[in-house]
C-alpha cells in the first residue's frame, strides 16, 4: 500500500516515519523550510523509543505528484481541513482510505464534502510530538498510539490491512467499529488541559501543582462531558484519579501544541476545540463558561495570525 502523509508535522511526521522505517511505501507532504530540510537531509525522528532518519526521496510539496494513494493519514491543522482535502482529489481512488488524525470532532464530515471518491475514517492520535527544527520531529512522553475507525459505516478490508501495517511498524493501534466516542474523549482532554496550558502559559507540572488550576481543568472537562451526553455520546464520567495518573506520565515541562502555536505567533486550533464546545453549548442550552473564556481570550491571537501561515 502507498501511504501519503498529508501534513508532516508532529503527528504525521512521527507515525509516517515509523511506517517508512518499517519498509512501507510512504510519501510525505509538507511545505516551507521543513520540506526543504527533508528533501536535503531526510526526516529526522527523535523518540523515546529510539532515533532514526527517513532518507530523502519521498518528500514533496505537490500532492498530485505522488500519483495515487491507498491510504492517506490526514494530519493537517484543523483550520486547513477543507483546503488540504481539496488537494487530495487527484490521488484518491474508490478504495482509498483517508484517516483523519486531527483534533476536533467534525473534520471527517468536512473532508467527505471535498472528496467524491474514497472512504473517510476518523482517528485519534495519542502522542506528544512536534517539529523541533526544520526536518526534525521530536516525540516525548512515550505515548505513541492511534485509534481509528468509521463513524457511521462498517469496517472495510483496507482498514484491517492498515491496522496490521501500523502494528508491524511498532505503533500501538486500535481499529474500532465506531470511533465517535473516542473523538469526544480526546476533545474532553485536549480542549481543557491543552487549551489551559496556552491560556495560562503554564506547563503540565505547574498546573498540576496548583489545586485551583486542577479544579478548573476538571470543570472544563465536565462542560464538554455534558454536551456529549446531551448528544447521546456515551463517554464515561470524568475520572479525576485516572486523568491525573495519565498526566503524571508526561514530564513536568510538557506543553500543548496550542501553546507552541500561540508563542510561535501561528494560527491555533481554537475554533475546532473550544469554539466547537461553545457553539454546541449555545445550541443545546448547556452553559460553558470556562470554554467561553478560553475561546474569547485566545481567538483574537488566532485571527491575528491566520494570514501568516507557518513555514514549517
- pLDDT tens digits along 212-239: 999 999 999 999 999 999 999 999 999 9
Query: What integer pLDDT is reported at residue 58 of this predicted model?
Result: 98
Which residue is listed with cell 517539529?
131
- Give the separation between CA 280 and CA 263, rounded to whole angstroms: 28
Q: Calculate the average pLDDT of the chain.
A: 95
pLDDT tens-digit readout, 136-180: 999 987 789 999 999 977 899 999 999 999 999 999 999 999 999
What grid cell was written down for 89? 482529489
Residue 91 reports pLDDT greater than 50: yes
Average pLDDT over residues 87-103: 97
Band of the pLDDT at 187, cuts 50, 70, 90?
very high
Which helix (H) or strand (E) segment holds residue 135: the answer is none
Domains 2-178 and 182-305 share a fold: no
3-state secondary structure of 126: strand
- Give the separation between CA 197 and CA 183, rounded to whole angstroms: 21
232 Rama sector, left if φ>0, alpha if ψ -120 to 50, beta otherwise: left
Q: Residue 172 pairs with which residues in a beta bridge?
A: 145
Q: What is the share, in percent, of the chain residues with pLDDT greater than 70?
A: 98
- Give the separation between CA 13 and CA 28, rounded to whole angstroms: 8
Query: What integer pLDDT is reported at residue 310 of this predicted model?
Result: 44
Residue 52 reports pLDDT greater than 90: yes
The CATH number of domain 182-305, selected from 1.10.1040.10, 3.40.50.261, 2.40.50.140, 3.40.190.10: 1.10.1040.10
Neighbour-count burial of 276, counting CB atoms closer than 10 A to its CB (0-12 exposed, 13-18 middle, 19+ buried): buried
Model's pTM, two decimal places? Answer: 0.93
- Helix-helix angle 276-284:211-230, to 10 degrees: 50
Domain ranges of the chain: 2-178, 182-305
Chain-centroid distance of CA 256 in Å reads 12
**Class of the CATH-defined domain 2-178:** alpha beta
Amino acid at each position: 500500500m502507498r501511504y501519503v502523509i498529508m501534513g508532516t508535522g508532529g503527528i504525521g511526521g512521527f507515525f509516517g516515519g515509523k511506517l517508512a522505517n518499517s519498509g512501507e511505501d510512504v510519501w510525505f507532504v509538507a511545505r516551507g523550510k521543513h520540506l526543504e530540510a527533508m528533501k536535503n537531509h531526510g526526516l529526522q525522528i527523535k523518540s523515546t523509543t529510539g532515533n532514526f532518519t527517513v532518507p530523502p526521496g519521498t518528500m514533496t510539496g505537490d500532492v498530485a505528484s505522488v500519483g495515487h494513494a491507498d491510504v492517506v493519514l490526514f494530519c493537517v491543522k484543523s483550520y486547513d481541513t477543507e483546503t488540504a482535502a481539496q488537494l487530495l482529489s487527484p490521488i484518491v481512488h474508490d478504495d482509498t482510505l483517508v484517516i483523519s488524525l486531527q483534533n476536533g470532532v467534525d473534520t471527517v464530515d468536512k473532508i467527505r464534502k471535498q472528496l467524491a471518491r474514497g472512504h473517510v475514517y476518523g482517528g485519534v492520535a495519542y502522542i506528544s510530538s512536534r517539529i523541533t527544527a526544520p526536518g526534525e520531529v521530536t516525540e516525548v512522553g512515550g505515548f505513541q498510539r492511534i485509534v481509528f475507525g468509521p463513524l457511521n459505516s462498517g469496517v472495510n478490508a483496507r482498514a484491517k490491512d492498515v491496522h496490521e501495517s501500523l502494528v508491524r511498524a511498532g505503533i500501538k493501534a486500535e481499529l474500532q467499529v465506531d470511533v465517535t466516542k473516542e473523538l469526544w474523549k480526546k476533545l474532553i482532554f485536549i480542549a481543557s488541559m491543552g487549551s489551559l496550558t496556552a491560556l495560562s502559559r503554564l506547563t503540565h507540572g505547574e498546573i498540576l501543582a496548583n489545586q485551583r488550576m486542577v479544579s478548573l481543568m476538571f470543570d472544563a472537562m465536565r462542560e464538554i462531558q455534558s454536551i456529549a451526553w446531551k448528544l447521546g455520546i456515551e463517554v464515561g464520567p470524568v475520572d479525576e484519579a485516572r486523568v491525573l495518573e495519565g498526566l503524571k506520565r508526561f514530564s513536568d515541562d510538557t506543553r500543548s501544541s496550542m501553546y507552541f502555536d500561540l508563542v510561535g505567533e501561528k494560527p491555533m486550533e481554537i475554533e475546532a476545540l473550544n469554539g466547537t464546545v461553545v457553539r454546541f453549548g449555545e445550541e443545546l442550552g448547556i452553559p460553558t463558561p470556562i470554554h467561553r473564556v478560553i475561546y474569547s481570550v485566545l481567538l483574537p491571537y488566532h485571527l491575528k495570525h491566520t494570514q501568516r501561515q507557518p513555514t514549517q
